[in-house]
Amino acid sequence: MSTEATEPQRYVHAEIEARWQRYWDEHQTFSTPARSGSRPKKYVLDMFPYPSGAGLHVGHPEGYTATDILARFWRMNGIDVLHPMGWDAFGLPAEQYAIETGTHPAVTTQKNVETFRRQLKSLGFSYDWTREVDTTDPAYVRWTQWIFLQLFHKGLAYQDRVSVNWCPALGTVLANEEVKDGLSERGNHPVERVPLRQWMMRITAYADRLLDDLSMVDWPHGTLTMQREWIGRSEGARIVFGIAGTEKSFDVFTTRPDTLIGCTYCVLAPEHPLVGEITTAEQKEAVQTYASAASSRSDRDRSSDAKKKTGVFTGAYAIHPITGSQVPIWVADYVLYGYGTGAVMAVPGHDERDFEFAKTFDLPIVEVVSPDGALHAPIAKAFIDDGIAVNSGEFNGLSTAQCKKAMIEKLASLNKGSARITYKLRDWVFSRQRYWGEPIPVYFPVQMEDANGNPRSGDKHTILYDQPIAVDESELPLRLPDLTDFKPGQDPAGPLARAVDWRYFQKDGKWYARETNTMPQWAGSCWYYLRFTDPQNSTVAWSEKAHNDWMPVDLYVGGAEHAVLHLLYSRFWHKVLFDLGHVKQPEPFMKLVHQGMILGEDGDKMSKSRGNVVNPDHIVKMFGADALRMYEMFMGPLEAVKPWQTSQVSGVVRFRDRLYSAVLKNDSAAVMGEETKKLLHRTVKKVTHDIESMAFNTAISQMMVYVNHLYTLTTIPLEAVLPLILIVSPFAPHLGEELWNKTGHSQSLAYEPWPTWDEALCVDDVVEMAVQVNGKVRGKIQLAKAATEEEARTAALAVESVAAFTQGKQVKKFVYVPGKIINLVVG
RNA sequence: GCCGAAGUGGCGGAAUGGCAGACGCGGUGGACUCAAAAUCCACUAUCCGCAAGGGUGUGAGGGUUCAAGUCCCUCCUUCGGCACCA
């Protein structure tokens, strides 16, 4: 026999990985099983990507590898797994590219999807590719529009004129969170505030349920907090203030009704409709100037110089609902029109902002809550904590909690107020003035000036936006018209307004106009997890059976950047669908995990401009898909933010190659020694537990320990490596399949039962224990776990290195924790 | 400012209150080789010491405990999120 023949073969990743990927494709290894009901299921979901032109980024495979490991692990545990992938493919970049080059967004999208699919396939993920969905596919859009209509029919989708962030350069409205310092987050174009007709989603109707049902899900603590904060429920009171000399009144919202007696002035938001009505002639000019200046500034600008308080007196006075005294009414932009009632009662003694404002404009400050019941005038700073009511007449002496209650009762009896709950959460601006989104399936009657006119040829007409008509479900999907010019233009109606043949149509001799706004990118991602259960269904969005088979999502993995918006919008739609009976659980995502961001080698966020982007194609080519997968899992805890280091990849490459050649050296006749057997069982146990708790880095480390041990053996028994092949396979599936095949198996290991362990082999009867003297390790002993305290003491004192420190001293205390530690306290 | 997460060798990181630094990268030495690469083996927190051994050490300072990276208090730094929410 030649030396070459006995030399273990090298692991040629390019050839082996391509071969197994082909095998999985040809054998449909990962097609989703038909559910019979007798086996448990797991729905393992990744946040699907936006297929950008830049292709996959090393950040993507991090979460995808984590879910793939669990999907493969659960299959091997006899669980039916749904593990799909798709594309969140509407969005601004494709449209921007279309504007620049004239290439249709559908063409760009298709090309990008192909790149993403090829790249994901090259990583060996066990997705069921027959379930792929694409949010831009008319067969998908159809059902997004269908869900919109359900919301519309329930009165949850409505039109309103709202002051929005209009970006003329992008020709679209941006969400507050998409605007940074008066510029658009994408492209840095200037943004202005203008009132526009918009489609809104009444998410506020679901505020309490969105808040309460967070108790039903297993999500990261921080994400739950962020959602709660975003909803921002706050309990307080609505209080009515009359306006002196008129019949008019206004409501304020306060969380501190107990401080009402200390109210020395009121403040209206500049946008408040009463401002124009109550301002006196002398103050008119100043107020108008102030209000118009405030309205032209963005929310962000208005809040950026929050420290400096500005405002103008209206000349009008409000009547205090309890004392009947008159307090001045001011206008100031620290009061937000969009929150509460857009008006506040100012209690400078007990609110920091009111205090600053009162100081600036020399308004009176009264103490009505005291920390100790005594009086402290003048007050040096606002006392905002709970205390005891003072200077409050009949309420004096009450605690803050008692006083709140008493004040609300008093107000109610006077018909001047009531308990009230307010939310920070606002309704969702749902329309976009863009081309590349789902058309909103609504149309409006058109009134022609000349009854024989044709709106398509520009004859004068009026669109009756207040009479929206839903497109009939049978006509869905309402497709986008083909355009060649995607430029946004001046018209806030968006590019679709130019497709006049599409926009205007006749029915029964009357003209109608389609809605030219489109849906936001969130729409498609709000319900894709439902479509994955039944992606090809052409009669319903998903069948009841498909829903029952797979919902809810058991594990959802994605970036923390979606902690609020995507997850909140998605939960909102889900709850609406729940109320309509289309889904059966109130919450869609049971367990949520955020993978941490992967930074560049320089420790900065990866970005093209920094030039620190790592392309997964390059890593796969150099080291192989299994190496990339294992490296990303070995880098550190999944949730942690961590820097990429290409030099570290060689560690997992060596591990893979050592494992490969150790297995190939196996001897089927050899029997495991006791030490090997114990370590194998412990390794299987630890890897199993670590996968379940998603501690992939320590699972890999344990397998490395085991492989290192195999290298100390002169012969490696086959029985010592078979379980190893199985437990490494979720991490390195190509390696697993190759070795499973080379150890005489003709079938894929994808459904091979997961190895078990013998607990008895995982515990030692005799352990090495450290012996401490005054907390410092001074020696080691071998001791039975069952040893008595007396045996332990004798053994410990017999150790020479220990005796050196106890010599001539008295043992004041003897600490013995069996199997853990011995500590001699001497003095 | 508020909320959240985190600070451990040269680097990534590990450690149910019980021997800090598993595992990996890098480094040093050795084996193999004509030589190199690859591979294999050993060592590798730091200070004093020829060694045996000892001292110090988990962002800083206190505390609880026989015992603290881990629990408590004060502070510093970094990252992420929110930001006049009445």
Question: Out of A17-26, A68-77, A503-512, A606-615, which region has the weakest mean confidence (pLDDT)?
Answer: A606-615
A562 CB contact with strand B at below 7 Å: no
What digits encode the pLDDT tens for the residues A8-60? 568 899 999 999 999 999 999 999 999 987 899 999 999 999 998 888 888 89
Model confidence over A624-633: pLDDT tens digits?
999 999 999 9
Q: Which residues pair with A777 in a beta bridge?
A: A772
Whether nucleic acid strand B comes within 7 Å of the CB of A36, the answer is no
**Any idea which residue has 């199997």 for tokens?**
A819
HEC states along A484-532? CCCCCCCCCCCHHHHCHHHHEEEECCEEEEECCCECCCHHHHCCHHHHC
Lookup result for tokens 């920070």: A424
- Which pLDDT score, from 0 to 100, does residue A1 have? 31
Residue A606 has pLDDT above 50, yes or no: yes
ipTM of the complex: 0.94
- Helix, strand, coil percentages (3-state) for chain A, rounded to 5, are 40, 20, 40
The residue among A124, A76, A142 whose CA lies nearest residue A691 is A76
Yes or no: say if A43 and A554 are a contact pair by the CB < 8 Å rule: yes
| A518 bridge partner residues | A432, A439
CA–C1' nearest nucleotide, residue A817: B18
> A187 — alpha (psi -120 to 50), left (phi > 0) or beta?
left
Window 323-342 of chain A: CB closer than 7 A to strand B = 333-336, 339-342
Q: Nearest nucleotide by C1' from A310 CA?
A: B84
Which nucleotide is nearest, taking the CA of residue A424 and each C1'? B85
Is the shortest CB-to-strand distance from A770 to strand B under 7 Å? yes
A225 touches strand B (CB under 7 A): yes
The DSSP 8-state label assigned to residue A218 in this structure reads B
Q: How far apart are CA A752 and CA A743, in angstroms?
A: 14
Helices A625-634 and A733-742, interaxial angle, to 10°? 120
> What is the pLDDT, as a whole number, of residue A612?
85
| CA A733 to C1' B31, whole Å | 34
Cβ atoms within 10 Å of A494's Cβ, excluding its own = 22
What is the predicted pLDDT for the residue at A507?
A: 92
Q: Which CA distances in Å does A336 have to A40, A248, A298, A312, A344? A: 51, 21, 12, 15, 10
Q: Which of A190, A342, A321 minimizes the C-alpha distance to A271?
A: A342
Per-residue model confidence as pLDDT tens digits over A203-258? 999 999 999 999 899 998 888 888 888 898 889 999 999 999 999 999 999 999 99
The answer to whether A286 CB sits below 7 Å from nucleic acid chain B is no
Nearest nucleotide over every DNA/RNA strand to the A824 CA, judged by C1': B66
Q: CB under 8 Å to A825, separation ≥6 — which residues?
A: A774, A811, A812, A813, A814, A815
Would you state the pLDDT for residue A709? 96
pLDDT of the residue at A413:
96
Residue A302, pLDDT score: 64
Distance B8 C1' – A774 CA (angstroms): 24
Structure confidence by residue, pLDDT tens digits, A700-745 = 999 999 999 999 999 999 999 999 999 999 999 999 999 999 999 9
Do β-strands A192-201 and A428-429 pair in parallel, antiparallel, or remain unpaired?
antiparallel
CA of A335 to C1' of B73 (A): 38
d(CA A487, CA A605): 32
A713 touches strand B (CB under 7 A): no
Q: Which residue is nearest to nucleotide B2 (CA to C1')?
A: A229
CA A351 to C1' B1, in angstroms, rounded, equals 15
Q: Give the C-alpha distances (Å, rounded to integers) separating A247 from A51, A278, A279, A319, A418.
A: 59, 11, 15, 11, 20
Determine the average pLDDT of the residues in A492-518.
91
Task: Report if pTM > 0.90.
Answer: yes
DSSP string for A55-98: ---TTHHHHHHHHHHHHHHHHHTT-EEE---EE---SHHHHHHH
Question: Which nucleotide is the nearest neighbour of A341, by CA and C1'?
Answer: B86
A28 CA → B26 C1’, Å: 43
Residues 304-323 of A with CB under 7 A from strand B: 305-306, 309-310
Q: In 3D, which of A123, A130, A23, A36 has the Cα closest to residue A86? A: A130
Q: Where are the beta strands (DSSP E) in A594-750?
A: 598-599, 642-643, 666-667, 716-717
The reply to whether A461 has its C-beta less than 7 Å from any atom of strand B is no
Note the pLDDT of residue A307. Answer: 66
| Mean pLDDT score of chain A | 90
pLDDT tens track for A267-320: 999 989 999 999 999 999 999 999 888 876 666 566 556 667 889 999 999 999
Spatial distance between the Cα atoms of A266 and A282, rounded to a whole number of angstroms: 19
State how far the Cα of A66 lies from the Cα of A638, in Å rounded to an integer: 8
Cα separation, A626 vs A649, whole angstroms:
11
In three-state secondary structure terms, A282 is helix
Q: Is the pLDDT of residue A3 over 50?
A: no
Q: Whole-angstrom Cα distance, residue A74 to residue A7?
A: 36
Residue A371 has pLDDT above 70, yes or no: yes
Largest Cα–Cα distance in chain A? Answer: 117
pLDDT at A629: 97
Cβ-based burial of A518 (10 A; exposed 0-12, middle 13-18, buried ≥19): buried
Rounded distance, CA A720 to CA A671, Å?
Answer: 8
Minimum CA–C1' distance nucleotide for A232 = B85
Termini Cα distance of chain A: 71
Both tokens of A762, joined, read 């995982």
The C1' atom of B60 and the CA atom of A661 lie apart, in whole Å, by 50
- Beta partners for A814? A824
Q: Does the pLDDT at position A5 exceed 60?
A: no
Q: Which nucleotides of B are covered by protein (CB under 7 A)?
A: 3-5, 11-16, 18-20, 22-26, 39-41, 53-55, 66-68, 79-86
Residue among A544, A556, A622 nearest A584 (CA): A544
Which residues 130-149 on A are within 7 A of strand B at the CB atom?
A: none
Residue whose token pair is 């130019």: A498
Please tell me which residue lies nearest to nucleotide B41, judged from CA to C1'. A712
- Label each residue of A32-52 as H, E or C: CCCCCCCCCEEEEEECCCCCC
A775 touches strand B (CB under 7 A): yes
Which stretches of A102-157 are DSSP H helices? 105-121, 138-153
Asked if strand B contacts A303 at the CB level, meaning under 7 A, the answer is yes
Q: Do the Cβ atoms of A199 and A517 come closer than 8 Å?
A: yes
Q: Which nucleotide is nearest to A305 (CA to C1')?
A: B84
Q: What is the pLDDT of residue A96?
A: 84
Structure tokens at A703: 């397998």
Q: How long a stretch of residues is chain A?
A: 827
Which residues pair with residue A346 across a beta bridge? A265
pLDDT(A443) > 80: yes
Radius of gyration of chain A (CA): 34
pLDDT in tens, A178-202: 666 666 766 777 777 778 899 999 9
In terms of Cβ atoms closer than 10 Å to its own Cβ (0-12, 13-18, 19+), residue A453 is middle
pLDDT band at A7 (very low <50, low <70, confident <90, very high): very low
pLDDT recorded at residue A337: 85
The predicted structure's pLDDT at residue A571: 94
Strand B contact residues in chain A (623-642), C-beta within 7 Å: 634-637, 640-642
Residues 49-108 of A with CB under 7 A from strand B: none
Q: What pLDDT is recorded for position A797?
A: 87
Cβ-based burial of A581 (10 A; exposed 0-12, middle 13-18, buried ≥19): exposed
* Dist. CA A263–CA A530, nearest whole Å: 52
Start-end of H helices in A296-441: 299-304, 352-361, 400-413
User: Which pLDDT does position A527 carry in this prediction?
Assistant: 96
Q: Tell me, in Å, how far CA of A518 is from C1' of B11?
A: 50
Amino acid A157 reads A
The string of pLDDT tens digits covering residues A730-788 is 999 999 999 999 999 999 999 999 999 999 999 888 888 889 988 888 888 888 888 89
Token pair for residue A213? 């049902």
Residues A516, A522, A528: CA angle, nearest 5 degrees: 115
- Rounded distance in angstroms from the CA atom of residue A804 to the C1' atom of nucleotide B3: 53
Question: Is A609 within 7 A of strand B by CB distance?
Answer: no
Amino acid at A383: F
Strand B within 7 A of A643 CB: yes
| Cα(A406)–Cα(A397) distance, integer angstroms | 12
- Phi, psi at A46, each rounded to 5°: -100, 150
Which regions of A472-581 does DSSP assign to beta strands (E)?
Answer: 504-507, 510-514, 553-557
